[in-house]
Structures are given as C-alpha cells and as structure tokens.
C-alpha cells in the first residue's frame, strides 16, 4: 500500500491539483450551527497562529493532477464556499486584485492546455456549487434551482457566510482570508479507493466526515461494474437510503444478520473481506451481489423499525403487533439483526408462521418484563441475537431453522427476570393519571393485549383507559389514594362508553358497562366484583401480575 502523508496549510492543499467529490459520497450536510462554530474558531486564531483542522484523506497519487476526496468533503466544501464569499465581497467593493487573488489560485486555475478548471468539483450532479457559488458574480446563474438537500445547504451556507462578512472592513476580510489559508491539515494520499478508506478507518480523523456506511458505499461503488445508460449502483443505493432513513445502525444490523457482529471500527475491513470471498475472481460481481443483499435487508429493516400495519398481510397482523411492541413500544434495537434474519426466512417460507409467532411472542415477553417493566440492562443480548441471526442465515433446511428458533426461545426464557423482580417494579411502571401520561402507552398496551387474548371479535379502534375508582372522586373512600392510578384500577373501554360514565359510582359504571360495552375484560371485571375498594383493587393487581408475567403470553 503506497501512502503519502504531508502536513500543509490550506493555501498549499488547494493548489496541489483538482479535488473531486465522487458521486457516491453523501451530500453536503453542514448546518448553520456548524458553519458559525467553524468561523468563530477561525476568528479566535491570531494571524501568525496555525490551527489544525484534522486529516483529509484522498485517493490518487501525490503530485498527480487530481485527488478523489474520501474524507474531508464537508470541510473542503465549506472552505471553498467561504473563499467564494470573500472573493465576491472583494469584487463588490471594487477590490479586483484581492478578488482575483482568491479566484485564480484557490477556486479556479489553469491547466497545461491553458484551460480553466475548478479546484473543487462535485460529481454528484451539483450544478449549484459552480453556477451559484464558485462562478464570479457576473457569471453566476441564479436560475439554477437547488433540488437536493445538499444543494440547498450549499446555498444556505453561501448566503449565511456572505451575510456574516458583508459589514467587515477590507482589512478584516484580508485577515480572515489569511487565517483560513493558514489552517493546517494533514493531506493523506493513498492509491486505490480501498486503501484510502482503510487509511481513514485507521486515522478516525478529527472533524470526521464519513460513517462506516459511507465508507462501505465508497468501496462498493469503486468495485461495481457500471453499464452505460444504466444508473447503477446509484439507483439501488438510493432505495437503500430511502429505506433506512439515514439510520447508521443499519449496516451493523444487516451485517450481523448474515455474517457476524462487529464493531464500527472493524466493519469496513470485514465487508471488504466478505466481498472478496463472495467472488474471488470478479470483485465487481461480488460488489453487486453484496449490494443486493443490502437492498433486500434494508426493506426488512424498514419493515421492522417503522412498522406500519398496511405493510403486512392481513394474516400477519399478529406478527406486526409483536414487532411493533418490540421496536416501537419498548424501543428495543439490539434485536434488529435477529428480526431481519427471522422475517427474511419467514418471507421465503423457510420458517413457518407458527415458529415465527412463537419466537416473536417469547421476545415480546422477554423485553416487556426485563426492559419495559423491570428496566434491566440487556447485557450480552445483542451478541445472543447476532449469534442466532447468523445461525439462522447459515441453516440450510426448514427443520434446522426451527431447531435454532427453539434454542433461542429457551435462551431468552431462561433470562427473563424473576416474578418477584417483576412484581416489585409493576407499580412504578404500570400506572396512569391524566396529569402524568408518561406510562399511558405501556398501560394501554397491556390492557389491549389482555383484551385480544380473550376477545376473538374485532376491537374498536377508538379505545381509552378508564379509572374504575374515579381519578377525581366526589368522596374519597379509599384508604390508599395511590391505588387510583394503579394498573389494578384501570380498564380498557370504548371511547363511546368511557365518555358516558365519567365520575359515576362503581354500581352505576357497572350497570352501564355491562349493558353497552363489548370489551370482554371490562365485562368480566364488573361481573366478578360486587364492590370496588382497596381490597378489590389490590386483588385485581395481583391477578394482573400473574397474567402479565406468564398467562398473557400462552398461545
């Protein structure tokens, strides 16, 4: 691996050649906050002081004519925008020599054929950068409308920076110009995109621009065999990006679901080796295959992390409910790798529906008890899920996969918190008051789960939680008022029924509910209890604890 690293000021870096931001890089992403912070940092530097802004990593050859930007895109783009603003203000003030000094050296230059070229070129179709920022004022084309977020942020950056410098004196502008040109960086140049990405991962440079997903994108795009008139791999990558919605955890979840769990620091190297092993002779074919795997799993990732009932078949509603509970209700992410592997196999019919529902129910119970109620740390669970995800992916037959699912069911069941731990945590997690709705969704989840267990008919969409003993009673008769918000005093009712019973006494509520509600759990409760005091609330609480801990999950 040929690597050349040289410390140098920005004034030297920008005159080394042409810098190209490839189309597989992520868009320009600096917001006003980062820009102002960057400018403030520069303002605090004295004129003769150097200020290090981190490494920048390029693919190419030292003393060559062009460098591909691997790391440093955000910084080099922002610096170029700042220099364009300074140049434009010099021109506006009729300081032509000062404007030309920046324009002809750091923004544009002349090649050996006496042709003008831009020092910074963006291969993403970014006409906005040159047309509205790099071009001199009289040549700017403001008819070019920014379409992508990155383009809009480039324009916003230019407008903001221009406004910050608009009132500065010529001497102040010259001083800032000198400060930015004196900024120090280490220019690291490596031959080959893969080598340059490896260097970046090793340096983990200050002001990091790239995520592991960005680096993997660079690797795939550099190896992918492009076909004329076919916009690949760009189109496939866009689908992946849309599916994952910038969630940086996708790469680790995807890789763990098929191969193994690795850290962010190691994942680029692992992906590189995986692509080599997929096809030793043709890495272009291997890159395409790996990209298709990512696309397939990005769709599953979306299904799991943003579960919407309409994205599931009607017959799979129970699968949707469990996934929604795990990832949205309980906010569990460590299970993603296994869920991707499981749903992948279920969709391919290599895992039966009954086994899919079985493991999802075990997972749902585990995370409800351990995380949602007992607030236990899931130590080692991510490794457990990754192991079984990989095992599931490697298994060849349906029978093998079912054995693996049975094994993980047993593992998770062994790790469920004890009944005594669960009981000790219930009162602090399963309560509801209109003044404190923090636990409302969890309480409603439990009450709905209990109702679905007993009610085989459709349940109304519009339901709400009712305090059996009124939250604001006319006359307090409970010995312990804290029981009012306890799960033992809560029941699920149709909105239409709940709105009619208000603060009524127990007997009146009982009569109305039994005559008008279709909720089986509510009707069973009012049929069972003749009165409603501290004793009945505590008794029901204890019954619910037994239900929630075990019976609620039995199929």
pLDDT tens per residue across span 390-412: 999 999 999 999 999 999 999 99
pTM of the model: 0.74
**165/238 same-domain check:** no
Average pLDDT over residues 500-509: 91
User: How far is it, in rounded angstroms, from Cα 357 to Cα 465?
Assistant: 28
**400/460 same-domain check:** no
Show which of 288, 305, 322 is a domain's final residue: 305
Query: Would 134 be classed as within a structural domain?
Result: yes
Average pLDDT over residues 21-47: 88
Lowest average pLDDT, out of 186-195, 231-240, 477-486, goes to 186-195
How is residue 252 written in tokens? 């680790």
* pLDDT computed for residue 202 by the predictor: 59
**257/275 same-domain check:** yes
- Mean pLDDT of the residues in the chain: 91
Show which of 203, 228, 245 is a domain's final residue: 203
Tokens 């037959």 belong to which residue? 397
Query: Would 65 be classed as within a structural domain?
Result: yes
**187/51 same-domain check:** yes
Find the distance separating the first CA and the last CA of the chain, reported in whole Å: 59
Show which of 256, 279, 305 is a domain's final residue: 305
**119/102 same-domain check:** yes
pLDDT category at 555 given cuts 50, 70, 90 is low
* pLDDT computed for residue 196 by the predictor: 62
Asked if residue 378 has pLDDT above 80, the reply is no
**9/79 same-domain check:** yes
For residues 190 and 85, the model is more confident at: 85
* 427, 406 Cβ separation under 8 angstroms: no
Classify burial at 348, counting beta carbons within 10 Å of its beta carbon; exposed 0-12, middle 13-18, buried 19 or more.
exposed
Query: For the segment 409-430, what is each residue's pLDDT rounded down to a tens digit?
Result: 999 999 999 999 999 999 999 9
Query: Three-state DSSP class for 57?
Result: strand
Query: Would 402 be classed as within a structural domain?
Result: yes
* pLDDT computed for residue 206 by the predictor: 43
Q: For the chain, how many residues are written?
A: 555
pLDDT category at 208 given cuts 50, 70, 90 is very low
User: How far is it, in rounded angstroms, from Cα 304 to Cα 53?
Assistant: 39
Query: Would 84 be classed as within a structural domain?
Result: yes
pLDDT category at 379 given cuts 50, 70, 90 is confident
* pLDDT computed for residue 254 by the predictor: 98
Query: For the segment 262-271, what is each residue's pLDDT rounded down to a tens digit?
Result: 988 788 889 9
CB contact set of 527 (below 8 Å; sequence gap of 6+): 514
Cis peptide bond N-terminal to 233, omega within 30: yes
* 33, 165 Cβ separation under 8 angstroms: no
Sign of CA dihedral 316, 319, 324, 327: negative
**85/173 same-domain check:** yes
Query: For the segment 155-180, what is each residue's pLDDT rounded down to a tens digit?
Result: 999 999 999 999 999 999 999 999 99
pLDDT category at 201 given cuts 50, 70, 90 is low
How is residue 342 written in tokens? 């499981």
Query: Would 535 be classed as within a structural domain?
Result: yes
User: How far is it, in rounded angstroms, from Cα 551 to Cα 488?
Assistant: 17
**115/135 same-domain check:** yes
Domain enclosing residue 136, as ranges: 3-203
User: How far is it, in rounded angstroms, from Cα 477 to Cα 487?
Assistant: 18
Asked if residue 210 has pLDDT above 80, the reply is no
Query: Would 436 be classed as within a structural domain?
Result: yes
Q: How many CB atoms lie within 10 A of CB 219?
A: 22
- What is the number of domains present in the chain? 4
Asked if residue 138 has pLDDT above 90, the reply is yes
* pLDDT computed for residue 205 by the predictor: 46
Helix or strand (DSSP H, E) at 490: strand 490-494
Average pLDDT over residues 333-357: 98
**467/531 same-domain check:** yes
**411/528 same-domain check:** no
**Phi and psi for 91 in degrees, rounded to 5?**
-65, -40
* pLDDT computed for residue 451 by the predictor: 94
pLDDT category at 300 given cuts 50, 70, 90 is very high
Q: Rg (Cα) of the chain, in Å, rounded?
A: 31
* pLDDT computed for residue 408 by the predictor: 98
**260/401 same-domain check:** no
**465/343 same-domain check:** no
């Amino acid at each position: 691996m040929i690597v050349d690293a040289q410390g140098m000021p920005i004034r030297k870096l920008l005159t080394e050649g042409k810098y190209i931001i490839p189309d597989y890089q992520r868009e320009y992403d600096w917001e006003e906050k980062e820009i102002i912070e960057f400018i403030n940092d520069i303002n605090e530097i004295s004129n003769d002081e150097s200020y290090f802004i981190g490494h920048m990593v390029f693919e190419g050859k030292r003393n060559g004519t062009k460098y591909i930007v691997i790391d440093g895109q955000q910084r080099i783009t922002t610096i170029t925008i700042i220099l364009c603003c300074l140049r434009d203000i010099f021109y506006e003030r009729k300081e032509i020599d000062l404007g030309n000094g920046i324009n002809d050296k750091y923004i544009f230059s002349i090649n050996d054929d006496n042709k003008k070229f831009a020092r910074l070129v963006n291969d993403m179709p970014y006409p906005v950068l040159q047309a509205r920022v790099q071009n001199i004022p009289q040549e700017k084309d403001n008819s070019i409308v920014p379409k992508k977020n990155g383009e809009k942020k480039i324009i916003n950056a230019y407008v903001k920076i221009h406004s910050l410098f608009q009132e500065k004196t010529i001497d102040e502008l010259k001083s800032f110009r000198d400060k930015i040109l004196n900024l120090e960086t280490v220019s690291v140049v490596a031959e080959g995109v893969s080598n340059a990405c490896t260097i970046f991962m090793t340096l983990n440079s200050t002001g990091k621009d790239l995520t592991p997903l960005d680096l993997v994108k660079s690797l795939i795009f550099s190896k992918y065999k492009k076909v004329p008139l076919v916009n690949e791999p760009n189109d496939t990558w866009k689908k992946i990006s849309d599916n994952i919605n910038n969630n940086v955890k996708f790469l680790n979840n995807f890789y763990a679901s098929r191969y193994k769990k690795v850290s962010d620091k190691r994942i680029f190297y692992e992906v590189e080796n995986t692509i080599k092993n997929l096809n030793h002779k043709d890495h272009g074919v291997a890159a395409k295959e790996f990209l298709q795997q990512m696309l397939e799993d990005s769709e599953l990732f979306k299904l799991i992390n943003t579960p919407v009932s309409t994205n599931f078949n009607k017959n799979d509603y129970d699968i949707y409910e469990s996934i929604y509970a795990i990832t949205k209700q309980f906010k569990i992410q460590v299970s993603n790798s296994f869920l991707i592997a499981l749903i992948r196999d279920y969709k391919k019919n290599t895992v039966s529906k009954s086994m899919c529902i079985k493991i999802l129910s075990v997972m749902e119970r585990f995370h409800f008890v351990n995380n949602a109620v007992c607030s236990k740390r899931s130590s080692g669970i991510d490794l457990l899920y990754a192991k079984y995800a990989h095992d599931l992916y490697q298994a060849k037959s349906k029978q093998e996969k079912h054995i693996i699912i049975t094994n993980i069911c047993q593992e998770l069941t062994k790790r469920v918190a004890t009944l005594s731990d669960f009981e000790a945590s219930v009162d602090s997690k399963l309560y509801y008051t209109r003044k404190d709705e923090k636990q409302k969704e969890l309480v409603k989840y439990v009450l709905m789960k209990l109702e679905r267990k007993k009610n085989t008919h459709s349940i109304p969409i519009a339901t709400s939680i009712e305090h059996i003993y009124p939250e604001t009673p006319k006359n307090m008769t409970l010995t312990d008022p804290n029981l009012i918000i306890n799960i033992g005093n809560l029941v699920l009712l149709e909105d239409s029924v709940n709105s009619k019973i208000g603060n009524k006494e127990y007997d009146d509520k009982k009569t109305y509910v039994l005559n008008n509600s279709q909720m089986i759990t509510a009707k069973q409760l009012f049929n069972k209890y003749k009165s409603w005091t501290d004793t009945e609330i505590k008794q029901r609480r204890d019954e619910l604890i037994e239900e929630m801990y075990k019976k609620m999950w039995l199929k």
